[in-house]
Amino acid sequence: MSFSALPYSPHEIECAEHSYDLPRIHHTYIRCALGQMGIGGDDSWGAKTQEEFLLPAGEIMKFEFIMKGI
């Protein structure tokens, strides 16, 4: 599982060229994911991702979590 809690949306981060371009903080953006497949192989010349780092294709993947405010 991967998890992030950031004070900016992905759109706000992508559009800002510098940290001072980001808006005042008003929210916390939480993103959770069951897994992430590797982005490439052993080199930068098109090698495929190694089998052990692939997510299973064709299988239903599901996860649940609960968040409780403090």
**What would the pLDDT profile of 36-56 be if each residue is shown by its tens digit?**
776 666 777 777 778 888 888
Kindly state whether residue 12 falls inside one of the protein's structural domains: yes
Kindly state whether residue 60 falls inside one of the protein's structural domains: no
Kindly state whether residue 35 falls inside one of the protein's structural domains: yes
Kindly state whether residue 11 falls inside one of the protein's structural domains: yes
Q: Please count the structural domains in the chain.
A: 1
Task: Check residue 61 and give its pLDDT.
Answer: 86
Kindly state whether residue 64 falls inside one of the protein's structural domains: no
Q: Which domain holds residue 14?
A: 2-39+47-53
Kindly state whether residue 7 falls inside one of the protein's structural domains: yes
Residues 10, 22: Cα–Cα separation, whole Å: 11
pTM given for the model: 0.59
Sign of CA dihedral 18, 39, 11, 24: negative
Kindly state whether residue 58 falls inside one of the protein's structural domains: no
Residues 3, 32: Cα–Cα separation, whole Å: 5
